[in-house]
A and B are shown apart, each in its own frame.
Chain A
């Protein structure tokens, strides 16, 4: 925990404490379900941030890992694998898939990489739609990890735990040699590899961690809603959501994905009631606005503002002195 010093540690503890207190304020199952999704997508955004934010690789295929987690859980438990083992086994399968995917795709750059990730996730979606084992578009049922009166409360808390663990991973990454390598790759891949960083290997490692967490998120989602179809867990919408949440909050920042998840999901909840099926409209508008006016996201913008204030103070002090 040595990387979580000072105010960061206190912010972290504060956020976790507040998150744990949320269920006391929330009354009905619907609201509980919404806050569950917020916590879940905060975790997913943080996981995406490792690849998309720190390493700067625009993956639009994270739905592949999410869906593999979800379908893995469904199919493994059907094959009589104990529930909690199935959760981690499903995540491991997704990680294996990430190994293969990383091998192929990290040779590609920029738009080619983004396209390849989309294509890979789409292949999985189409396979799940057309194969018998996944029962195609009819979907499969998934077992619930928790049951009883506090059903949603338990799911919410596990999503918070997942988010908190991912936050710790990110906090470690952001101040470790590993993280610096990733950021060097983001800034200039050629230079990074010229100074001796094995860029492919580090990008792969980031993807593995990210895929594992994303798949865990997928199992949580599948188990909470107890029913999955390909168009639900393997769609590009999931990948986009993860990317947008992170970009909105600020890619490559610790708090960004959390801020992004809270803002985007509550906005989309409000719009869902207003515009029915067109709630993705708000995503589109937000993306365009963020790209135009806030390219570093909300946290990036705040950081810049703080930097400017500090700079102003410093010049004022030096002027006075």
Chain B
């Protein structure tokens, strides 16, 4: 069930990497911001997280665009080294600002839906999990068809394919990159909003997800959006199986070992083409 959420997180990261060649080490931090937005809405206005995620997505879209303009665009053409440091720095700032504002306490979001179970075909589903799965699936399909079908999506892919030629074709690289960054961040924010009911909320909750997002994206092949969706599902299944047989604490270890294996054996990912 978490697979679809992972897929959404991974797609956001893949979108940013594919179009901008920027590795976003703050992805989990943005996800965490999405969770806090959704939580605030729930606490203050009693808005259900399954509606609040929309606000979280919109907020993070705007926020992502601003971050792009202020901090990412200046380092666009610098080395990987600098970009990684920059996004790491942004991540630290986000996590610690949230900690400063809201404190390090754990928060839980209780909604009635979480205690409802649906039985079908001899299987039992948690209603809340089922709903997040459905919403995430809709978002994934929406994001994919946006990238594949729409004119802006075409421009996105054009930049991903060749950044030097794209502007010659009349594509405003800056605007499109900002858009893709904002979209990627919004995807993380939506995933955060959907994750909220399932997790305890605290400022560094997103940290694990940054790494997981990379595992997902690397599994599927860096920069490939379909690959990321697939990687998310693989990771979700692997994690569930590990927790089932070995206990929860081993799930993350297996994630990382899987990650190192894929990196050392086939760095282009399971579906990736050979890199030039």
Contact = CB atoms under 8 A, between A and B. Distances in A.
B79 to A, nearest CB: 8
Contacts of B85: 58, 243-244, 247, 287, 290-291
A126 interface: yes
Interface stretch (B146-154, B193-201, B259-267): B259-267
Interface in B82-104: 82, 84-86, 88-97, 99-100, 104
A115 B17 CA distance: 14
Contacts of A132: none
Interface in B224-276: 249-250, 252-253, 256-257, 259-260, 263-264, 267
5 contacts: A56-B81, A105-B264, A115-B259, A291-B75, A291-B89
A288 B93 contact: yes
A277 B249 CA distance: 25
Interface string A289-313: 0111001000000000000000000
A296 to B, nearest CB: 10
A14 interface: no
The 9 closest A-B pairs by CB, nearest first: A287-B89, A284-B92, A284-B93, A281-B96, A111-B23, A110-B80, A288-B89, A278-B96, A278-B100
B190 interface: no
B88 A281 contact: no
B44 interface: no
A104 B264 contact: yes
B170 interface: no
A119 B88 contact: no
Which among A122, A127, A291 has the highest number of chain B CB atoms within 10 Å? A291
A119 B211 contact: yes
Nearest to B251: A126
B189 to A, nearest CB: 19
Interface string B69-84: 0010011001011101
Contact of A120 (B82, B92, B95, B260): B260
Interface in A40-71: 56, 58, 60
Interface string A103-133: 0110110111011101110110011011000
Contacts of B86: 287-288, 291-292
A280 B92 contact: yes
Interface of A: 56, 58, 60, 104-105, 107-108, 110-112, 114-116, 118-120, 122-123, 126-127, 129-130, 240, 243-244, 247, 275, 277-281, 283-288, 290-292, 295
A62 B97 CA distance: 26
B90 A122 contact: no
A56 B86 CA distance: 16
A58 B250 CA distance: 28
B214 interface: yes
B74 A292 contact: yes
Interface of B: 23, 71, 74-75, 78, 80-82, 84-86, 88-97, 99-100, 104, 211, 214-215, 218, 222, 249-250, 252-253, 256-257, 259-260, 263-264, 267
A118 B88 CA distance: 12
Nearest to B22: A111
Which among A278, A286, A290, A292 has the highest number of chain B CB atoms within 10 Å? A278
Given A122-B256, A240-B88, A291-B86, A115 B214 contact: yes
Nearest to B204: A280
A281 B263 contact: no
B253 A288 contact: no
Contact of A104 (B74, B249, B260): B260
Interface secondary structure of A, over-half rule: helix
B9 to A, nearest CB: 15
Which among A110, A111, A275 has the highest number of chain B CB atoms within 10 Å? A111
Given A114-B84, A119-B259, A130-B249, 18 more contacts: A60-B84, A104-B260, A107-B264, A114-B23, A114-B80, A115-B211, A115-B218, A115-B263, A126-B256, A275-B100, A278-B99, A280-B92, A281-B93, A281-B96, A284-B93, A288-B90, A291-B75, A292-B74
Contacts of A279: 96
A104 B267 CA distance: 11
A162 B180 CA distance: 47
A104 B75 CA distance: 29
Contacts of B259: 115-116, 119
Nearest to B78: A295
Contact of A277 (B81, B82, B99, B257): B99
Contact of B89 (A58, A107, A277, A284): A284
Given A281-B92, A292-B71, A123 B78 contact: no
Contact of B267 (A112, A275, A287, A295): A112
Contacts of B23: 111, 114-115
B259 to A, nearest CB: 5
Contacts of B92: 240, 280-281, 283-284, 287
B91 A284 contact: yes
A285 B84 contact: no
Given A112-B267, A115-B214, A291 B82 contact: yes
Contact of A285 (B82, B93, B211): B93
A64 B96 CA distance: 24
Nearest to B26: A284
A25 to B, nearest CB: 32
B252 A126 contact: yes
Contacts of B250: 130
B97 A123 contact: no
